Amino acid sequence: MSGKITFVGAGPGDPELITLKGAAALREADTVVYAGSLVNEKILELAGHAEFHNSAKMSLDEVLTILKRDYLAGKMVVRLHTGDPSVYGAVGEQFHLLDQAGIPYTVIPGVSSVFAAAAALQTELTMPEISQTVILTRDAGRTPVPEKESLELLAAHGSTLCIFLSVSDMEKLCRKLLAAGRSPDTAAAVVYRASWENELIVRGTIADIASKVAEAGIKRQAMIVIGDVLRKDGALSKLYDSEFATGYRHHKFRGQTAVFALTRQASLKAAEIASGLSDAVLFVPEKFADAVPSLHTSSFAAGKFGETLDSNWRNYDAFVFVMAAGIAVRHIGKLCEDKKRDPAVVVCDEKGNYAVSLLSGHIGGGNALAHDIARITGGQAVITTASDVQKLPAFDVFAEEHHCVIETPETLTGIAAAVVNGEPVEVEMSARLFEANFAGYPDVTLVKERTDGLILVRSGGSELRLHQPRFVLGIGCRKGITADRIGEVVDAVLEKAGFFPEDLCAIASAEVKREETGLLEFARKMNLPLQFFPAEKLNAVEVPNPSQAAERNLGIRSVSEASALLAAGENARLYVEKQRCGDVTAAIAGGNHGS
Ligand code: SAH
């Protein structure tokens, strides 16, 4: 019986940075051929009983001889490389010779030193607006590099450079970077033995890194990273920009979702969808439960789909069925009651090409969920509700999204029908709400500006009355904070809590912040009045999250929550409890508008 050859990435040095699969291969190994000084010998302890060969002292032929011999003798052979085998691991020639000999092998990846270095530097190698490309390369030394890949040419791109095997002549390397047109003040760092006990980090710029590295005495076993991504004050990642919707952020649907599948392929797609949604449980047939990579999974026995669905129908805000629409329709038909109670339902094919909003598209959020799913799968949302298709305003959605109380639910349908039929619509609401939501619709006219929280919508003889509480944003902040920083935190808080800037009527804080220029500027930018409250008033308010630090420093138990509650008026309650993000706290309270 023949054995098995496995190439394993040992990781950058720290013995805990080998993969679980790599460690398992070592535990089974009879023979280990490891790549010299950059493989931590502690990792070899995993293969306690094996025979070890250090390939640093061997020729390629000698390595191959051992691999082949032990393979043919039926042994488990591990060829252990530092970092990941595929970068500067000289595995290509070994693969080639094994292929020629007709000997099979598998490869288990590892954590490359480039990533251990990035981790040590606590940097992102790809920062929006600075560099979206990483070049892994080496300088020409004893091993030449192809002419078109000379550092002078590669560096000219301005992308992040991670340079292996080249720390021995930093002077020459930096000269090449400058010759490529990189500015001398471009950030540069060198990480010696990343993730080892004697790891050493040197930071500087292209102008001074060579001398700093010489001073530190680093001559080998180091990663060179060049690029302004090393400056963390670069552009904020667009990923966190509230305007920027990626598959895994900016969920428009809020609520708990059950995702059902019946076949193996559909179960895998359903797992992908469930893990992309903010709050979802996956339901798959028992026999596929082990195959799906999902944390929150329930399974049902063969033939029990219908029963499982029936008993869960009232437990979730939405259902996603990754299956033929017919199966879903036949099952949910008997469960549907009315549009204010029914959960949202979206059906998706098992390739994720289409996400069809089937039920409760508006109030229930089915359309939003279909859009979310389409973003996750890269497919297309299929929406059939008329107002969306005709790009008309939907006041039921508006009411839901802006936390309004619907005082006349019986007129919702009449208004919706009038809107879809092209009747003109007259509204009364705050100018902020109108501007942000309806200014682009030619058939909707603001006939009266209101400041009392009432929202009136008239069309085709129906009148819809909504009421929006007086929402106030309470802010606490450190001294000297900038308006931009406050803006950043507030954007994130609003987004997470499902509020829009136009929902806010005022900003509130503590009296001691009256001269805080960043806060004043932020309020001006938001175009909102600012209200301040003295310590004794703030301290008289019961809040869920008082702060001992604020009490010590300012003599105030709560700034954001208490000031928001005070400014929100009668019957105020917290809609968003205190959110802390570094040097800013924010909370939102809503109450009655004063007369
Ligand atoms: N396959 C390995 C690279 C092998 S080439 C990997 O994926 O990391 C050897 C070069 O890798 C060294 O000269 C050095 O530039 C880099 N290197 C390997 N381990 C390192 C570590 N722990 N810290 C910094 N650089 C390392």
Alpha-carbon distance of 397 to 387, in angstroms, equals 11
pLDDT digits (tens, 9 = 90+) for 314-340: 999 999 999 999 999 999 999 998 877
Q: Which two tokens stand for residue 291?
A: 């195959």
Return the SS3 of 366.
Answer: helix
Of 86-100, 284-298, 491-505, give the lowest mean pLDDT range.
284-298
Task: For residue 515, count other CB atoms closer than 10 A to its CB.
Answer: 8
The percent of residues in the chain predicted with pLDDT above 70, rounded, is: 97
From 242, 252, 496, select the one nearest 373 (Cα to Cα): 252
Per-residue confidence (pLDDT) for residue 141, from 0 to 100? 81
Q: What's the mean pLDDT when you consider all of the chain?
A: 91
Contact between 63 and 94 under an 8 Å Cβ cutoff? The reply is: yes
pLDDT at 400 over 80: yes
Band (pLDDT 50/70/90 cuts) for residue 584 is very high
The model's pTM? 0.62
Return the SS3 of 526.
Answer: helix
CB half-sphere exposure, 83, CA atoms < 13 A: 20
Per-residue confidence (pLDDT) for residue 238, from 0 to 100? 42
- Sequential DSSP letters for 29-74: -SEEEE-GGGS-HHHHGGGTTSEEEEGGGS-HHHHHHHHHHHHHTT
Band (pLDDT 50/70/90 cuts) for residue 239 is very low
> Residue ranges of the alpha helices (H) in 180-294?
209-216, 264-276
Q: Report which protein residue has its CA nearest ligand 1's atom 15.
A: 164
pLDDT digits (tens, 9 = 90+) for 432-486: 999 888 987 888 999 999 999 999 999 999 999 999 999 999 999 999 999 999 9
Per-residue confidence (pLDDT) for residue 28, from 0 to 100? 96
Best residue for ligand 1 mutational test, from 39, 88, 111 (most atoms within 8 Å of Cβ): 88
- Rounded mean pLDDT of 251-258? 82
pLDDT at 342 over 50: yes
From 279, 241, 281, 275, select the one nearest 259 (Cα to Cα): 281
Task: For residue 508, count other CB atoms closer than 10 A to its CB.
Answer: 28
From 31, 41, 152, 38, select the one nearest 85 (Cα to Cα): 38
- Residues with Cβ within 8 Å of 165's Cβ and at least 6 positions away in sequence, in order, are 88, 138, 139, 141, 143
Ligand 1 atom with minimal separation from the 84 CA:
7
Helix and strand element counts for the chain (H, E): 21, 27
- Rounded mean pLDDT of 20-49? 93
Is the Cα dihedral 77, 78, 79, 85 positive or negative? positive
The percent of residues in the chain predicted with pLDDT above 90, rounded, is: 77
Q: Report which protein residue has its CA nearest ligand 1's atom 6.
A: 83
Helix axes 325-332, 305-312, angle to 10 degrees: 50
- Rounded mean pLDDT of 371-378? 91
Task: Tell me if 12 CB under 6 Å of ligand 1.
Answer: yes
Gap from CA of 114 to ligand 1 centroid (Å): 7
pLDDT at 565 over 50: yes
- Rounded mean pLDDT of 285-299? 87
The one-letter amino acid at 280: A
Band (pLDDT 50/70/90 cuts) for residue 72 is very high
Band (pLDDT 50/70/90 cuts) for residue 595 is low
Per-residue confidence (pLDDT) for residue 237, from 0 to 100? 44
Query: In 146-279, where do the E strands start and end?
Result: 160-164, 187-192, 200-205, 222-226, 257-261
Ligand 1 atom with minimal separation from the 112 CA:
7
pLDDT at 105 over 90: yes
Q: Which two tokens stand for residue 402?
A: 């802006």
Gap from CA of 158 to ligand 1 centroid (Å): 23
Best residue for ligand 1 mutational test, from 201, 221, 225, 226 (most atoms within 8 Å of Cβ): 221
